[in-house]
């Protein structure tokens, strides 16, 4: 029944670090082709499938969306691919990462500045709450749209 080099989904999960749940999900959404099955319906994974699963896992670890990974997988399996396409995808993703990093850094900077000025004792006075409430009264002040994130504390 079960070919010698094929393993079940649980074993594949352990071997690749991708949960069985996610393996099924990737199949369902078309990231991976339908798995081979035993007569009784169990999914079977051959070494090449594990290879693809680890590829996907690595892509996720690098923060690629499943959609991007679908494209990368296709390029990987296309022996006539142009590396330019891969590079463009990767650099686009790096841009995305950098934008998200900048947004998070803005938040972290603003917040730790505020926290630095908060004595953090039993008294109620708190520049952090003051800032939140000030955002509350200044509303969408001078630096409004710019996807919100970079507002400087107004005082």
Partner DNA sequence: GTGGGGCTTCCCATGGTGGGAAGGTCAAGG
Partner DNA sequence: CCTTGACCTTCCCACCATGGGAAGCCCCAC
How far is it, in rounded angstroms, from Cα 73 to Cα 89?
12
Q: Considering only residues 20, 46, 55, 71, which one is a binding residue for a second copy as defined by CB under 8 A?
A: 55
Q: Does 1 bind DNA (CB under 7 A)?
A: yes
Q: Does 154 bind DNA (CB under 7 A)?
A: no
Q: Considering only residues 15, 20, 36, 71, which one is a binding residue for a second copy as defined by CB under 8 A?
A: 15
Q: Considering only residues 46, 50, 66, 71, which one is a binding residue for DNA as defined by CB under 7 A?
A: 66
Q: Does 8 bind DNA (CB under 7 A)?
A: yes
Q: Does 152 bind a second copy (CB under 8 A)?
A: yes
Q: Does 46 bind a second copy (CB under 8 A)?
A: no
Q: Is 130 exposed, middle or buried (0-12, 13-18, 19+ CB in 10 A)?
A: middle
How far is it, in rounded angstroms, from Cα 155 to Cα 144?
16
What are the φ/ψ torsions at residue 31 (nearest 5 degrees)? -70, -40
Q: How far is the CB of 40 from a second copy (least distance, A)?
A: 28
Q: Does 54 bind DNA (CB under 7 A)?
A: no
Choose among 89, 83, 87: nearest CA to 65. 89
Tokens 């690098």 appear where? 62
Q: Is 142 exposed, middle or buried (0-12, 13-18, 19+ CB in 10 A)?
A: exposed
Q: Does 41 bind DNA (CB under 7 A)?
A: yes
Q: Does 60 bind a second copy (CB under 8 A)?
A: yes
Q: How far apart are the first and last CA of the chain?
A: 73
Q: Which residues of this chain interact with DNA, rule CB under 7 A?
A: 1-2, 8-11, 19-22, 24-25, 35, 38-43, 60, 65-67, 150-151, 153, 155
């Amino acid at each position: 029944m079960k070919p010698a080099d094929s393993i079940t989904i649980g074993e594949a999960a352990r071997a690749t670090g991708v949960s069985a749940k996610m393996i099924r999900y990737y199949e369902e959404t078309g990231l991976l082709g339908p798995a081979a099955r035993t007569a009784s319906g169990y999914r079977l994974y051959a070494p090449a499938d594990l290879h693809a699963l680890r590829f996907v896992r690595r892509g996720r670890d690098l923060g690629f969306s499943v959609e991007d990974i679908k494209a990368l997988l296709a390029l990987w399996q296309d022996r006539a691919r142009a590396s330019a396409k891969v590079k463009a995808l990767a650099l686009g993703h790096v841009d995305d990462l950098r934008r998200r990093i900048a947004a998070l850094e803005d938040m972290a900077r603003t917040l730790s500045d505020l926290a630095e000025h908060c004595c953090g004792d039993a008294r109620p006075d708190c520049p952090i709450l003051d800032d939140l409430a000030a955002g509350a009264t200044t509303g969408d002040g001078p630096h409004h749209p710019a996807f919100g994130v970079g507002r400087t504390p107004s005082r």
